[in-house]
């Protein structure tokens, strides 16, 4: 069965550095998402992406964050100047049509030192 | 903004027991998801439903739109069902997640 894949599985970065989290959604999917889960807390929506543009974003998704689909297969989340509080598990998800469920990747654990 | 409440927060049961996890939300939605998160952190989508009932193997999910409530049932529970079960609702502002129900099934 096709899967959403995320790399790396664990990223350790110094505070203030830029980080790019990568996702390869399922190939014929049209809608793409990033979520965040701080350790011990609930999953939070960050952003959704459709037709090469952001369709929705939460208040967490400020100017520090950006998303891109650079080559038709990858979907990336960039955090420009990381802060300690950005440490979390970041999940990518994708879905096909609007009446289909989202498929999640296994997540990237981001640790900011 | 939608408020999603799950109950119970923690549930420990014996293998074979019938399990029910509840989810209620405050604002009308277009769909509700039940997700399973394993100790390693990965999330698996179990169901997406907007009305009625769905069944997959030993799992059953129901939703009552009028009452803004959904339940996830597990029949003949097994230790491998131990995980965090998360309810998430789709509204105008994307998915809003509950805090999850931590289920432990003891042999």
Q: Tens digits of per-residue pLDDT, B43-57?
A: 999 999 999 999 999
Nearest CA to A19 among A27, A8, A30, A28? A8
Nearest-CB residue to B45 (from A45, A56, A102)? A102
DSSP result, A19-82:
EEEEEE--TT--EEEEEEE-TTS--EEEEEEETTEEEEE-TT--TTEEEE--SSS-EEEEESS-
Ranges of residues in chain B with a pLDDT under 50 are: none
Nearest-CB residue to B86 (from A43, A101, A102)? A43
Asked if the Cβ–Cβ distance from A104 to B99 is below 8 Å, we say no
Q: Residue A51 contacts by C-beta under 8 Å, 6 or more apart in sequence?
A: A30
Asked if the Cβ–Cβ distance from B41 to A45 is below 8 Å, we say no
Asked if the Cβ–Cβ distance from A102 to B44 is below 8 Å, we say no
Distance from CA of A60 to the nearest CA of B (A): 12
Banded pLDDT at A48 (limits 50, 70, 90): very high
pLDDT at B82: 96
The residue with tokens 């802060």 is A83
Chain A residues with CB under 8 Å of a chain B CB are 33, 35, 37, 41-45, 48, 56, 58, 89, 91, 93, 100-107, 109
HSE, CB side, 13 Å, CA atoms: give it for residue B89: 25
Nearest CA to A54 among A35, A36, A69, A74? A69
- Say whether pLDDT at A2 is over 80: no
CA dihedral A54, A57, A60, A65 (to 10 degrees): 0
Between A and B, how many CB-CB pairs are < 8 A?
51
């Amino acid at each position: 069965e096709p899967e959403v894949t995320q790399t790396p599985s664990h990223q350790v970065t110094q505070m203030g550095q830029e980080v790019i989290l990568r996702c390869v959604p399922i190939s014929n999917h049209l809608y793409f998402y990033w979520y965040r889960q701080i350790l011990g807390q609930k999953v939070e929506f960050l952003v959704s992406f459709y037709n090469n543009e952001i369709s929705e974003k939460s208040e967490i998704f400020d100017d520090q964050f950006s998303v891109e689909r650079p080559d038709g297969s990858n979907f990336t989340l960039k955090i420009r100047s990381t802060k300690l509080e950005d440490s979390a598990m970041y999940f990518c998800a994708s879905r096909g049509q609007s009446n289909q469920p989202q498929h999640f990747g296994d997540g990237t654990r981001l640790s900011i030192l | 903004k939608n408020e999603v409440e799950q109950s119970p927060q923690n549930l420990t049961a014996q293998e074979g027991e019938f399990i029910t996890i509840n989810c209620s939300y405050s604002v009308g939605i277009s769909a509700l998801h039940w997700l399973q998160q394993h100790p390693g952190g990965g999330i698996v989508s179990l169901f997406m439903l907007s009305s009625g009932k769905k069944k997959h193997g030993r799992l059953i999910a129901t939703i009552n739109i009028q009452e803004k409530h959904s339940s996830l049932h597990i029949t003949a529970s097994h230790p491998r069902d131990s995980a965090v079960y998360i309810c998430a609702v789709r509204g105008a502002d994307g998915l809003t997640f509950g805090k999850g129900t931590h289920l432990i099934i003891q042999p």
